[in-house]
Structure 1
Amino acid sequence: MPFLIKFETQSARVKGLSFHHKRPWILAALHNGVIQLWDYRVSTLIDKFDEHEGPVRGICFHSQQPLFVSGGDDYKIKVWNYKTRRCLFTLLGHLDYIRTTFFHHEYPWILSASDDQTIRIWNWQSRTCISVLTGHNHYVMCAQFHPSEDLVVSSSLDQTVRVWDISGLRKKNVAPGPGGLDDSMKGPGHTDLFGQSDAVVKHVLEGHERGVNWACFHPTSPQIVSGADDRVIRIWRYNDSKAWEVDTCRSHYNNVSCVVFHPKSELIISNSEDKSLRIWDANKRTLLHTYRRDNDRFWILAVHPTQNLLAAGHDSGMFLFKTSKERPAFTLHGNLLYYIKDYYLRRLDFSTFKDIPIMKLRPSTRGRLSMLSYNPAENAMLVSCQLPQHEYAFYDLYFLPKDIDTNNPSPALGESKRFQGAPAIWVARNRFAALDVSKTIIIKNMKNELVKKLSTALSVENIFYAGTGLLLVKTAAEIDF
């Protein structure tokens, strides 16, 4: 699996991260009390804010307004305007360190979790606390809104994850109609005549054997993932009446600091005080990739709201990364660009700017089709799928149709033969090279029959075309002919 670091900073320990929804910006909350605002596209520190006294742990951009919220060990929640570069106001009420702060995606609310064992919901327009959620009996390490429903998930050192129903709070504090108006006259913890609380515990998830550091909702399905000091990641499902544990992921050998669902792929990403970041298959719950640092413990993860981009904070800074390449597999021949889109092989003619689908490709359930190699003499295409577990890598051999219906937007599935090993590349008119399962270079003919094996003392990781009959061979240390 590709693990692509796109941007990296060096600083004091990073305890909180937040992506801007539209601009290429990220906020980093540091243990030394500074908040940094970075433009990751041009690798520039735009601004810094340092009014907190002590570490800052909670940080969150507003999705529409030029605002962000922060929470620190000084028991203060601060709302900032990044355009005017100043703190607008401070919310007071927590009696201990503030661990996380998040804006609601729609309502003018802020959610905060604290070591005072409470979760508070604030109206940032009226600058008042509108609800206090009590029930945890140890530090509340994290609390987050559901992305679309009236739910909150929280995690605590009391070893539980709790799901809270805040629909009563919405009905009392948000008037019907577009935009919603707040009723700032309601006091915290207000109840109606029938005793219905603003926020009630819907589910208590028990299973972790040590304190739970993080919990978050899946963006689209009724799932929760949590990570704890018992070094275990637990996946939960829930409905209106109950919640239950589905599975666990075990590989970390120290406290799990943070864990999130990938918004674009069926992946779970976790990091830990064991100085590793790990990527898991969310369906099979198997470990796909591990990234390690020599000296830095990990503390936090953030997910970009719309892009395939994540960030991780550690003892000496933070970095942004992707879990997959987004550029499609392509190859050039003269004025023709062949590329893959939605499992169709397409051809763009640069002379006429006509872009047409040629054939439908066999889908891959294990990974993306990552490489094309075109043979113009035989009008044949090799399509490779490379994977970290090389025994699952494969290539398909297609012969392209001579007559292409340019008016057909959905051409038929092309006839192909699928074989283990990848990548596969043409090296002559009727010969191609491939890396087999044992990472031996093999030469085959047009019928996919073995012509010969190339023995090498090197541990080959990849091969590239270097002219007719020639290959570039990549090892862990060098590239050779």
Structure 2
Amino acid sequence: MFLQTMAKSFEVTELPVRSAKFIPRKQWVVAGADDMFIRVYNYNTMDKVKVFEAHTDYIRCVAVHPTLPYVLSSSDDMLIKLWDWEKGWVCTQIFEGHSHYVMQVTFNPKDTNTFASASLDRTIKIWNLGSPDPNFTLDAHQKGVNCVDYFTGGDKPYLITGSDDHTAKVWDYQTKSCVQTLEGHTHNVSAVCFHPELPIIITGSEDGTVRIWHSTTYRLENTLNYGLERVWAIGYIKSSRRIVIGYDEGTIMVKIGREEPVASMDNSGKIIWAKHNEIQTVNIKSVGADFEVTDGERLPLAVKELGTCDLYPQVS
């Protein structure tokens, strides 16, 4: 149950705070704001850990490396900077190459030595830590690019971008080709994400809607509109069907998909079911007829993985 009560509040600055991320291994939250400062707080004690001027213009995004003591920041000064908190938050690298505001940076979860940046110069650039020049550039959209996210659910080398040209695009970053263009929003696409477990893509727009697309067929599955003005952020809770949407006028948490797994059982005692898009099986007869069991007790069954399927399993 969610009580919907505020847990903590940090008074950061009088100017807009455009990005904040948790660093759970340190119990920190790091925030970048329009006053060009990065601020780090301990979210348990509410203490300020560090405050420093990071850029010469608005900070659009901060991103935390999954394992190393690194934070990336991107700014309207067209720069991306890498900060090392184990070296006193010194800037260890500057990435130059964009010719307009850098709206978002995100690490590649499959190769955390690389990251992607989205810019209003209409491009996506892929960078390597330790190298000052981008690996390559995707001439992505007809207008500025606001957001980028990597595919985490399987082996596909995909990323998704959202743009002021009202579209989202799925890219193969190995072949550097556009796989699909998602059309339907009537205003700037401000937030995109591949769900880490469900086979869906979620896009949010300044048109006030969130669109849910199938991540394999790219079919539009649903459109959500809660009348809370423009969409700015989309989040998810891992191992959950809950997604969170941030708007001008508030925040909404919704459940998507269905609670009950799709399952079937045959006469031999074999059960097959779907957990998201993974297929699993057990054989009840493997317990043995002489096994004593009380009503309601969980059976000691060995679950086997049968693989994954591209489409949502359905009950006909």
TM-score, normalized by length of structure 1? 0.56
- In the other structure, the counterpart of 1:120 is 81
Q: Which moves more between the two structures, 82-91 or 302-311?
A: 302-311
Verify: 1:208 aligned to 2:135, yes or no.
Answer: no
AA in 1 matched with 2:205: S
Shift of 1:66: 0.6
- In the other structure, the counterpart of 1:278 is 211
- Alignment length, in residue pairs? 291
Pick aligned residue for 2:109 from 139, 147, 153: 147
Pick aligned residue for 1:235 from 149, 160, 170: 170
* Distance in 2 between residues matched to 1:277 and 1:55, nearest whole Å: 23
Structure-2 change in CA distance of 1:346 and 1:289 (3 Å):
farther
- In the other structure, the counterpart of 1:78 is 39
Pick aligned residue for 2:297 from 353, 368, 389: 353
Pick aligned residue for 2:96 from 126, 134, 140: 134
* Distance in 1 between residues matched to 2:69 and 2:127, nearest whole Å: 18
* Distance in 2 between residues matched to 1:90 and 1:364, nearest whole Å: 47
**Helix, strand or coil: the match of 2:227?**
coil
| Deviations 1:193-217 (CA, angstroms, capped at 9, x unpaired) | xxxxx33201110130011000121
Pick aligned residue for 2:179 from 228, 239, 246: 246
After TM superposition, the structure 1 = structure 2 runs for residues 237-386 of structure 1, keeping only pairs within 5 Å, are 237-239=172-174, 243-328=176-261, 342=279, 351=295, 353=297, 355=299, 366-369=311-314, 385=315
- In the other structure, the counterpart of 2:290 is none
Structure-2 change in CA distance of 1:57 and 1:145 (3 Å):
same
Matched residues, percent identical? 30
Q: What is the RMSD of the two structures over their aligned residues, measured on CA atoms?
A: 2.9
Which of the pair has the greater relative contact order for Cα pairs under 8 Å at 6+ separation? 1
| Deviations 1:258-288 (CA, angstroms, capped at 9, x unpaired) | 1011100221100001110001111111111
* Distance in 2 between residues matched to 1:352 and 1:80, nearest whole Å: 47
| Deviations 1:354-387 (CA, angstroms, capped at 9, x unpaired) | 6388xxxxx9975445xxxxxxxxxxxxxxx2xx
* Distance in 2 between residues matched to 1:222 and 1:366, nearest whole Å: 18
* Distance in 2 between residues matched to 1:227 and 1:366, nearest whole Å: 24
Structure-2 change in CA distance of 1:108 and 1:356 (3 Å):
closer
Shift of 1:113: 1.0
Structure-2 change in CA distance of 1:340 and 1:164 (3 Å):
closer
* Distance in 2 between residues matched to 1:286 and 1:63, nearest whole Å: 36
Runs of 4+ off more than 6 Å: 345-349
Structure 2 gaps of 5+ residues are: 264-270, 288-292, 302-307
AA in 1 matched with 2:297: F
TM-score, normalized by length of structure 2? 0.83
- In the other structure, the counterpart of 1:418 is none
Verify: 1:161 aligned to 2:124, yes or no.
Answer: yes
* Distance in 2 between residues matched to 1:311 and 1:325, nearest whole Å: 17
**Helix, strand or coil: the match of 1:163?**
strand
Shift of 1:226: 0.1
Pick aligned residue for 1:106 from 31, 42, 67: 67
